[in-house]
């Protein structure tokens, strides 16, 4: 696919995602009703429409190859899957356990696209955890989750490039949930 074609596809995606954000902002009351009545269904449909179907279209229908860090991730995931030791048998600038975690999907499908799918699933799990954390106190938690999925940057970084930075958000979320459970000391 030519660079110009990729540019136009990304441009159309960005326009469509931005239009979706505008619609979501304008329909705040409707989305609050979804949050109260059908939040799991709405969240699941958001995942299906904004992550899983695009992943299938990009990597299975169009047959694009993952870009960004994914080829390097694949190299170290292959090393980990082969039983190698990080830093001795293969190079990695991530924490030692990372290579072994990203090698897990390769046991099911030995393809770099499986790593991108893992990143999409991790992002969704972290977003679900964030939504569940804020749902009791924020009437717009579902709206914020849907808007996040439609942000062009998160769409491109996770879905196209398989970036792992969202995992830091997951760690921060776990810490925040732990802090919220600790009773406050009052004097």
Instruction: Give the pLDDT of residue 184.
Output: 64
Count up the domains in the chain and report the number.
1
Convert the pLDDT of each residue in 124-141 to its tens digit: 999 999 999 999 999 999
Query: pLDDT 10s digit of each residue in the chain, 187 long?
Result: 788 988 898 899 999 999 999 999 999 999 999 999 999 999 999 999 999 999 999 999 999 999 888 999 999 999 999 999 988 898 888 888 999 999 999 999 999 999 999 999 999 999 999 999 999 999 999 999 999 999 999 999 998 888 889 999 999 999 999 998 877 666 6
CA-CA distances (angstroms) from residue 86 to 31, 55, 80, 90? 46, 29, 7, 5
Gap between the Cα atoms of 162 and 71, Å rounded: 10
CA-CA distances (angstroms) from residue 183 to 135, 137, 179, 187? 20, 17, 9, 13
Residue 99 lies in a domain: yes
Residue 186 lies in a domain: no
Residue 187 lies in a domain: no
CA-CA distances (angstroms) from residue 164 to 17, 18, 77, 94, 141? 22, 24, 14, 10, 23
Residue 68 lies in a domain: yes
Do the beta carbons of residue 161 and residue 55 sit within 8 Å? no
Instruction: Give the pLDDT of residue 187.
Output: 62
Q: Domain range for residue 62?
A: 3-181
Residue 91 lies in a domain: yes
- Within the chain, what is the greatest distance between any pair of CA atoms? 66
Gap between the Cα atoms of 102 and 13, Å rounded: 28
């Amino acid at each position: 696919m030519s660079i110009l074609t990729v540019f136009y596809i990304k441009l159309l995606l960005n326009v469509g995602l931005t239009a979706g954000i505008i619609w979501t902002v304008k329909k705040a009351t409707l989305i609050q009703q979804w949050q109260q009545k059908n939040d799991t269904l709405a969240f699941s449909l958001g995942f299906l429409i904004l992550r899983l179907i695009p992943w299938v279209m990009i990597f299975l229908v169009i047959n694009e190859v993952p870009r960004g860090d994914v080829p390097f991730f694949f190299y170290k995931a292959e090393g980990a899957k082969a039983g190698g030791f990080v830093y001795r048998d293969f190079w990695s600038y991530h924490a030692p356990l990372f290579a072994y975690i990203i090698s897990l999907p390769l046991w099911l499908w030995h393809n770099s696209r499986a790593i991108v799918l893992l990143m999409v699933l991790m992002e969704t799990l972290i977003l679900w955890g964030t939504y569940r954390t804020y749902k009791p106190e924020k009437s717009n938690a579902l709206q914020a989750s849907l808007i996040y999925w439609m942000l062009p940057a998160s769409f491109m970084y996770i879905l196209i490039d398989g970036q792992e930075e969202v995992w830091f958000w997951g760690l921060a979320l776990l810490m925040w949930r732990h802090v919220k459970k600790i009773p406050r000391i009052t004097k």
